[in-house]
A and B are shown apart, each in its own frame.
Chain A
Amino acid sequence: MSTVLFDEPGPKARRRIRVATVLGTLAALALAALAVRQFAANGQLDAARWQPYATWPMWRYLLDGLWSTFLAAVVAAALSMAFGLLLALGRVSPRAWVRGPAATYVEVVRTIPALLLVYVVLFALPRYGLDLPLFWKLVVPLTVSNAAAYAEIFRAGINSIERGQTEAGLAVGLTRLQTMRLIVLPQAARRVLPSLVSQSVGLLKDTSLGFVVSYGELLYSGKVLAAYNGLLIQTYLVVALIYLVVNMSLSKLARTLEARQPAGSVTLRRRTARA
C-alpha cells in the first residue's frame, strides 16, 4: 500500500511494522484485560447477571423499544426531509424575501442543541395550551432540528448541479419551478442520497432523547428494564450493542451508495459530529 505518507515498506520498515504489530496487539489486549478484571472484581461478569439476556422476554421487550425507535426515526426523517427540501428550495430562490427567512431558520436551528428543543416542546408548549402526545414530543423537536441539516444537504446537492442544466431548462421554455422539479432535483437527489442516509443515522441516534421525554424507544426501554432488574451495565451494554448493529448497517448502506455514485461526481462533505 502506498499513501501520501509512505512508500511500499522496505526490509527495515517491514521489521519495524512487525514490532509495532506485536506492541499494538499487546497494548490492546492489556486494555481489554484491565476492563475485564475491573468487571470481574465487582461481580459484573457473574453468569447470573447475564443469563436474563439469553432469554426471549428480555429481548422481546428491547426489540419493542427498537420498533418504537424506528417508528419515531422514520416519521421524523420523512417530515424533516420534506421540510428540509422546502427550506433548501427557499434558500436557492431568486426572491430575497423567501431566501432570508429560510436561511435564518437553518442558521439559527443549526446552533441550538436538540435537547433544548425537546425541553421547549416538553415544558414550554404545554403552558400555551399545546400538550402534544408523547410520540410527537420526541418527533417534533427532532424534525425541527434535523430539517435544517437535511436542508443543507439538499442545498449542496442543488448547487452541485451544473448551471447549464438550469439554463437549458429555461431555454426550452420551462418555468423556473418546472426546471427545478424536472431537471435539477432528480439529479440532485441522486447525488445526495448517501448523505441523506448518513444524516438519517444521526437522526436515529437523536431518537435516544426519548430517554428524556419517557417515550418508550430503545434507550428509555433500557432505563425501565434496568430499573426493574437492577442489571444496569448489562442492560445498557445490550442496548448499545443493538444501536451499534442497526447504525453500522445503515452506515454501510451509505458507503455502498457512495461507492455506486458515478466516478468523478462531486462527493458532498458529510455532516460531522451528530449527537
Chain B
Amino acid sequence: MGVLLEHLPELWQGLIVTLQLTAASFAGAAVLGVLVCALRVSPVRVLRALGTAYVETLQNLPLLVLLVLVFFGLPEIGIKADPLVTAIVVIAVYEAAYIGEALRSGVNSVSKGQGEAARAIGLTFGQSLRHVVLPQALRTVVQPIGNIFIATTMNTALAGAVSVVDLTASAQRVNLVEAQPIPIFVGAGIAYGLIAAAAGFVTGRLERRLVILR
C-alpha cells in the first residue's frame, strides 16, 4: 500500500491521461460513428460502400497495429503531431467503426412499419427520423454503446505501448523503479474497474429509464 501512496502523483497523472484519452476519443468516436452509420444506411450505393469499407477495415485491424503504423508513420510522411492527440485521433477513428455498427443495428431494430407509418402521415424525412426512428433506435443501443465505452477505456492502455504515459504505462514505470508489482498493478486494475463500474452504472440507469418493451 505504501508504495501506491508514495507514487500517487505519477499514478494520478497517468489516470488523468487515461481519462483524457477515454473521454476525448470516445467523444470523437461518437461523432465519427454517427457519420459512419449515416453512410451505411444511406440510399447512395457509393456512400454505403465507403461506410462498409471503413467498418470492415477497422474492425479487422488490431488497434495496436494501427497505433504503431500511425505513430511511426506520420513523421515519415512529414507530419509532426503531439503523441496524446495522435492517440486520441487513432482510438477515435478505431472505435467509430464499432459505434457506427451499434447505431446501425439500432436503426435496423426499428420495425419497417414505424417508418412507413411516419411517411404515410406525411412526415418529411427529417421529421420521421427525429420523431419516430431515432428515439427508438437510440434507446436500444444504450447498452452496446456503454460496452463500447468500457472497451474504449481498456483500449486506451495500448497508447501506453507507443509512448503515451497513461495509467497502465505509469504503473509499469513505477514498478520498474519500485519492483513491487502486486500493489501497483492491483491499484491500476482497481482504477480501471471503477471507471467501468461507473460507466456500467450510468448505462444501467439510462437503459432502465429508456427501455422500450416490444
Contact = CB atoms under 8 A, between A and B. Distances in A.
A91 B122 CA distance: 51
Contacts of A232: 72-73, 76
Contact of B64 (A42, A208, A226, A247): A208
Given A124-B181, A212-B161, A274-B151, A248 B60 contact: yes
Interface in A225-275: 226, 232-233, 236-237, 239-240, 243-244, 247-248, 251, 269, 271-275
A110 B199 CA distance: 13
B45 interface: yes
Interface string B122-153: 00010001000100000000001001101111
A111 B193 contact: yes
Interface residues of A, number: 62
A173 B206 CA distance: 45
Interface in B151-167: 151-158, 160-161
B43 A113 contact: no
Contact of B185 (A119, A201, A273): A119
A17 B60 contact: no
A65 to B, nearest CB: 12
Nearest to A115: B157
Contacts of A237: 69
A108 B107 CA distance: 32
B211 interface: no
B78 interface: yes
A212 B62 CA distance: 14
A120 B181 contact: yes
A2 B95 contact: no
B161 A273 contact: no
Q: How large is the interface on B (under 10, 10 to 19, 20 to 34, 35 or more residues)?
A: 35 or more
A112 B133 contact: no
B47 interface: yes
A243 B62 contact: yes
A103 to B, nearest CB: 14
Contact of B43 (A13, A38, A116, A120): A13
A244 B44 CA distance: 26
Given A7-B119, A42-B77, A116-B188, A219 B182 contact: no
B40 to A, nearest CB: 11
Contacts of A251: 56, 59-60
A39 B192 CA distance: 39
A48 to B, nearest CB: 15
A87 interface: no
A21 B185 contact: no
B77 A39 contact: yes
B7 to A, nearest CB: 15
A205 B195 CA distance: 24
Interface of B: 41-47, 50, 56-57, 59-66, 68-69, 72-73, 76-79, 95, 98, 101-102, 107-108, 110-112, 114-116, 119, 125, 129, 133, 144, 147-148, 150-158, 160-161, 168, 171-172, 175-176, 179, 181-182, 185, 188-189, 192-193, 195-197
Interface of A: 1-7, 9, 13, 17, 20-21, 24-25, 28, 38-39, 41-42, 44, 108, 110-116, 119-120, 123-124, 127, 201, 205-209, 211-212, 219, 222-223, 226, 232-233, 236-237, 239-240, 243-244, 247-248, 251, 269, 271-275
